[in-house]
Structure 1
Amino acid sequence: MKPWLVKEWCIPQADAEFVAKMEDVLDVYQRSYDPSRPVVCIDETNKQLIIEKRVPCKPGEPEKLDSVYVRNGVADIFMISEPLAGKRETVVKQTRTAIDFAEILRYTADELYPKAKKIILVTDNLNIHAPSSLYKAFSAQEANRLTKRFEWHYTPKHGSWLDMAEIEIGVMSRQALAKPFPDLESFEKQVRSWTVNRNAKCVKINWQFTTADARIKLAKLYPTTL
């Protein structure tokens, strides 16, 4: 017996809403690449900033760290990923509010894709991921302008794995954020370095899971029809 071990599972509710949103996102991922209508996935994560205390050691000895450390706030990272183009952008902030998300949308629309006819947006259903965030941050005219720049698609509840920005976040976490960072400045520098290097390699996400696959592999999630 190992009572301290816990396995965490995310069991989606098998209903028509889950299936409808899942198939909607999967259909978006099957669209052909169109630079005038880029498919852009947005998600965010955060990391605790930690100040470690190093113990003096002699030359040749392994680095020593005191077990006591100081928490120095939290850094929030917004990931803006265009999987078919092999591009991603990261923005580090100190908060993750509706206002922050609205600013990310305006940055995406006006700075990253100013010439796009329509930005096909895929995101999860977090409460701030909505057009209402734009109206909280900007005037009604500006919010309405930005809302129309996007075609909105949401992953279902307990289905955030369908947002390909999560894949980019996972890669970033493994490759660049495994060690602790003492402050926002050093953290932001590391995230920027990773983003530039990964963009230089033009790494694309080879998404293979289709609607047809879902109807077979996730058949238990589909409502039973009469």
Structure 2
Amino acid sequence: MWCIGIINGEYVATMEDVLDLYAQPQEEGIVRLCFDERPCQLIDHVLTPIPAKANCTQKQHQEYLRNGVCNVLLAYNMDTGQRHIKVTTTKTKADYSHFMQWVVKEHYPTETKIKLVQDNYQTHSYGAFYENLPFEEARQLKNKLEFHFTPKHGSWLNMAEMEFSSLARQCLDRRIANQEILESEALIWQKNRNLKAVKVNWSFTTEKARVKLKNRYIEISKINT
């Protein structure tokens, strides 16, 4: 379910930019990725759970221990149905920069351009590359990555959000005590999903947006009349 919040000219411009990118056919040498990152709380049991039995699920005590948080970074390739995950202890410009560097070098070293859909969180910038990587590497990364930002309150436009929803439901919907276990589980989920090359079936287009949000478009057009 998506929530569009306040719509103005900037919202529409960035929304249509992302939707037009999704509608484009796949191009040789061009990669289309959706990226997002999400903090995950680490929670441990106070008492050892009672194992599951026939016709009975595992039983766990209502009290729990908070073991801090870690950060999951995920990039999703909309054309190949592959996703790339890293887990970090923090959510900083350095984490973002090193993740993007790893994605490019490890998975797309020969492609000419990567069109990247992401939100406009303050760490998601070209400047982050220059602050955390050697200047020449930062320049190469900047020239290879073409940013396409989702609008504010427009996370529903990011396919990576849908992947995080699947990850949460299929893998992380339980108590996980530490970062090592969470990372191991997330990578197993990634491997299984990549083997199946699961793709997001995206059907919302700019044309549909102009019908669905017709009244909002009219309101915007009246601003300067």
Give the TM-score, by structure 1 length: 0.90
**Identity in percent:** 38
Structure 2 match to 1:49: 42
Matched, 1:140 2:138: no
User: Is the 8 Å Cα contact of residues 80 and 88 (structure 1) preserved in structure 2?
Assistant: yes
Equivalent position SS for 2:188? helix
Aligned pair partner of 2:185 in 170, 181, 190: 190
- 1:88 and 1:27 map into 2 onto residues whose CA distance is 22
- Of 140-149 and 173-182, more deviation after overlay is shown by 140-149
- 2:58 and 2:171 map into 1 onto residues whose CA distance is 20
Aligned pair partner of 1:87 in 72, 82, 85: 82
Equivalent position SS for 1:100? helix
Aligned pair partner of 1:29 in 16, 22, 25: 22
Structure 1 match to 2:221: 224
Q: Compared with structure 1, are the counterparts of its residues 196 and 56 closer, same or farther at alpha carbon in structure 2 (3 Å cutoff)?
A: closer
Equivalent position SS for 1:20? helix
After superposition, where does 1:1-12 map in structure 2 within 5 Å?
Answer: 10-12=3-5
- 1:172 and 1:64 map into 2 onto residues whose CA distance is 23
User: Is the 8 Å Cα contact of residues 14 and 220 (structure 1) preserved in structure 2?
Assistant: no
User: Is the 8 Å Cα contact of residues 55 and 64 (structure 1) preserved in structure 2?
Assistant: no
Give the TM-score, by structure 2 length: 0.90
**Post-superposition offset of 1:15:** 1.2
- 2:87 and 2:50 map into 1 onto residues whose CA distance is 34
**Post-superposition offset of 1:59:** 9.7
- Structure 1 residue ranges without an equivalent (≥5): 1-8
Structure 2 match to 1:4: none
Matched, 1:20 2:13: yes
What is the total number of aligned residue pairs between the two structures?
218
After superposition, where does 1:121-140 map in structure 2 within 5 Å?
Answer: 121-140=116-135
Structure 1 residue ranges (4+ consecutive) displaced by more than 3 angstroms after TM superposition: 55-64
User: Is the 8 Å Cα contact of residues 76 and 93 (structure 1) preserved in structure 2?
Assistant: yes
Q: Compared with structure 1, are the counterparts of its residues 66 and 139 closer, same or farther at alpha carbon in structure 2 (3 Å cutoff)?
A: same
Residue by residue over 1:161-181, the C-alpha shift from the partner in whole angstroms, topping out at 9 and shown as x without a partner, is 111110111111111111110
- Structure 2 residue ranges without an equivalent (≥5): none
Structure 1 match to 2:110: 115
